[in-house]
Amino acid sequence: MILHQANPPRTLDALVARFSDAPAGTRVEAWTFDDRAARRRTEGALATRGITARIRSAYKPVVSFFLEEARPGFTAARIAYPVHPAAIPNRFLLESYPLAALLAPAAVSFTAGTCTDLYDITLTYPEGTETHRVFAPNREHPDLEGAPMLSPCGWLIAGDQSAPMPTDYEALFHGAMEAVAAHDWGQEPYFEELNLAVTIPADDEALNHDDEALSLREALHEDLYFSLLEYFGQLSGRPVGDRHLQPGQIVPEITQGPPGLTVSLRPLATGDRMGAHQVLDNTTAPPAAAQIRDELAALGGTRFTAPTRAGREVEARHISGDGAPVMISAGQHPNETSAIVGALRAGRVLKERGASFTLSPLENPDGYALHGRLVADNPRHMHHAARYTAFGDDLEYRQAPSALYENAIRQQAETLSRAQLHINLHGYPAHEWTRPLSGYVPRGFAMWTLPKGFFLVMRHHEGWADIARALTEAVTADLARNTELMEMNARQIALYATHAGETGFEMVNGFPCYIGPDPRHRVPLTLITEYPDETIYGPAFIRAHEAQMQTVLAAQAAWQGLAASAPSALLV
């Protein structure tokens, strides 16, 4: 069922048409959401008509300035970034990421400036200094709750005109949001799959640092997905960020092509995630769903399952063995793919050691199948649409008396194992995460906007603080033996501090950690890993699932010595 279709004119074509009859010598400056090559071609097309044009990027304009306009050879760069009352204080510092890495070995420093829309830049060369002002076009507008928000926008300067300029990119976003708002949705869950098929002309531009890229396609996926979650949350009467919302599966599919949008309702997809069989220890990409099932079957033990909305099955195993038992889970957010492989690898080792444990390596198979579908077009995008279940919720937050579906696997694991330690493997974006048309910084997820190394979250019940800390100390001491992991942490944390400030986490043996009480979990101790793994492949992916496995093995080993001193109460 198609709800809306649109094909807005391409902004760059409209610019050429608009100024085709302008007098020779006319000067034009514009900021659009287009890649560098397309903007240069448009400048050339206008030049043939005698028009001097400079078309810049409305997305991360200061990064584009250094990539496209700054004269090379400088040894230092001082950047005073804008500060605007409608944005968080470090908004434009975040927007400059990852310049400190891109401009090395030049010395780069950042200070809060006095302007609300200009970066003041001083470049030092052997022969002297140059100063530049980089305009950051933004519009102030209300969010869904009426609070002020500042978002990048198109802009045009021509003659005595200097004003925001509508763009195709913004038209596609707002057209999708308006089409959804115009529909009568009935009762929650509102749909099976809400599909947003969007084409934009912009290509991704890889940056010369880790997994970073300028990707307007990825940014639009993220903005549409989370904006629609916020819209349906408001429609349901829930507060922004409430993870109990169950709207259905929201699927933005952003591909390259002329500007176009189709909003439609579809039935849930039910197929398996496919792929070739891989050697588990050297897996360079997420495995096929069939291989995950095969790896579980090879462990033996007691099989237990839970259903999903789309008719798939969550599968887990209980392995009876010696010592204090543990629960191991992964794939709650199945775009965090290193966790799945790390959990399976750890299960193999623990089985060989005769340990007692439950293993649920893919708690959200509906999301995993969607992730496989999305990465077929855009393998290096985060695809947070695959983060939640086919209900559109975070399964951990699902509560009785509603049907538990996937979450039932944890209750079974608790009953079978009687474990007091749950090792819950996760990941987060390996590169910057933005929402350019909704304030730039992901609302509710601001702490995740930049990579900051491999870190751990240790949640515990009241009375378990000492043992939680001892476990964290033991695990991080073991992880600190991994020199590659330590080097990645040091590099990412230093860059994070430059572009965002302190991580906000306690450092334990070189790892950012949060240790604190949380009564939500029935198990007294929950150790959560967070590896920057979304979008990585090849050797980087191997290093990621190696770290995930190492964490499980270290935690299980440490727990054997700590369990005897734990409070006597079991599950609550």
Q: pLDDT digit string (tens) for 439-484?
A: 999 998 998 999 999 999 999 999 999 999 999 999 999 999 999 9
Query: Tell me, what's the pLDDT at 276?
Result: 92
Closest-CA residue to 485 (of 414, 551, 426, 422)? 551
SS3 561: helix
Mean pLDDT of 29-57: 97
Residues written for the chain: 572
Contact yes or no for 571/523 (Cβ under 8 A): yes
The C-alpha angle with vertex 305 and arms to 288 and 336, in degrees rounded to 5, equals: 40
Residue 388 has pLDDT above 60, yes or no: yes
**Overall CATH class of domain 280-564:** alpha beta
Tokens of 65: 């300035």
Residues 6 or more apart whose Cβ sits within 8 Å of residue 288:
272, 273, 274, 275, 276, 277
Spatial separation of the C-alpha atoms in residues 341 and 336, rounded to whole Å? 10
Contact yes or no for 119/133 (Cβ under 8 A): yes
pLDDT tens, 210-267? Answer: 999 999 999 999 999 999 999 999 999 988 778 889 999 999 999 999 999 999 999 9
Give the helix/strand (H/E) hosting 486. helix 483-499
CA distances from 214 to 58, 177, 469 (A): 12, 24, 40
Residue 504: left (phi > 0), alpha (psi -120 to 50), or beta?
left
Q: Summarize the chain as % helix, strand, coil (round to 5).
A: 35, 25, 40
Spatial separation of the C-alpha atoms in residues 217 and 172, rounded to whole Å? 12
SS3 140: strand
Residue 453: left (phi > 0), alpha (psi -120 to 50), or beta?
left
Closest-CA residue to 504 (of 440, 431, 452, 427)? 452
Tokens of 342: 């790390």
pLDDT tens, 338-376? Answer: 999 999 999 999 999 999 999 999 999 999 999 999 999
Spatial separation of the C-alpha atoms in residues 330 and 486, rounded to whole Å? 23
Residue 559 has pLDDT above 50, yes or no: yes
For strand 107-112 and strand 76-81, is the pairing parallel, antiparallel, or unpaired? parallel
Query: Tell me, what's the pLDDT at 239?
Result: 84
Residues 6 or more apart whose Cβ sits within 8 Å of residue 161:
none
Residue 186: left (phi > 0), alpha (psi -120 to 50), or beta?
left
Name the pLDDT band for 568 (thresholds 50, 70, 90): low
Residue 101 has pLDDT above 50, yes or no: yes
Q: Is the four-CA dihedral 458, 464, 466, 471 of positive or negative sign?
A: negative
Contact yes or no for 318/349 (Cβ under 8 A): no
Structure-token match 């965090």, residue found? 336
Contact yes or no for 461/524 (Cβ under 8 A): yes
3-state SS string over 422-466? EEEEEEEECCCCCECCCCECCCCCHHHCCCCCCEEEEEECCCCHH
Closest-CA residue to 540 (of 532, 529, 552)? 532
Spatial separation of the C-alpha atoms in residues 361 and 289, rounded to whole Å? 11
Rg (CA), the chain: 25
User: What's the burial of 238, exposed, middle or buried (CB within 10 Å: 0-12/13-18/19+)?
Assistant: middle
Contact yes or no for 3/180 (Cβ under 8 A): yes
Name the pLDDT band for 171 (thresholds 50, 70, 90): very high
Tokens of 64: 């584009």
Residue 55 has pLDDT above 50, yes or no: yes
Ranges in the chain annotated CATH 3.40.630.10? 280-564
Query: Tell me, what's the pLDDT at 145?
Result: 80
Residue 569 has pLDDT above 60, yes or no: no
Query: Tell me, what's the pLDDT at 571?
Result: 40
Percent of the chain topping pLDDT 70: 99
Name the pLDDT band for 401 (thresholds 50, 70, 90): low
Percent of the chain topping pLDDT 90: 92
Structure-token match 């009935």, residue found? 186
SS3 120: strand
What is the edge-to-edge ordering of all strands in the sheet holding 161-164? 52-57, 27-32, 155-158, 161-164
Residue 275 has pLDDT above 70, yes or no: yes
CA distances from 565 to 85, 205, 356 (A): 52, 54, 18
Give the helix/strand (H/E) hosting 19. helix 11-19
Spatial separation of the C-alpha atoms in residues 65 and 223, rounded to whole Å? 24
What integer best gives the mean pLDDT of the chain?
96
Round to the nearest angstrom and report the end-to-end CA distance of the chain: 46
Spatial separation of the C-alpha atoms in residues 8 and 235, rounded to whole Å? 28
Q: What phi and psi, each to the nearest 5 degrees, are found at residue 355?
A: -80, 165
Query: Tell me, what's the pLDDT at 371?
Result: 98
Residue 572 has pLDDT above 60, yes or no: no
pLDDT tens, 487-544? Answer: 999 999 999 999 998 888 899 999 999 999 998 889 999 999 999 999 999 999 999 9
Name the pLDDT band for 399 (thresholds 50, 70, 90): confident
Which amino acid, 276? Answer: A
Spatial separation of the C-alpha atoms in residues 422 and 464, rounded to whole Å? 14
The C-alpha angle with vertex 343 and arms to 481 and 241, in degrees rounded to 5, equals: 100
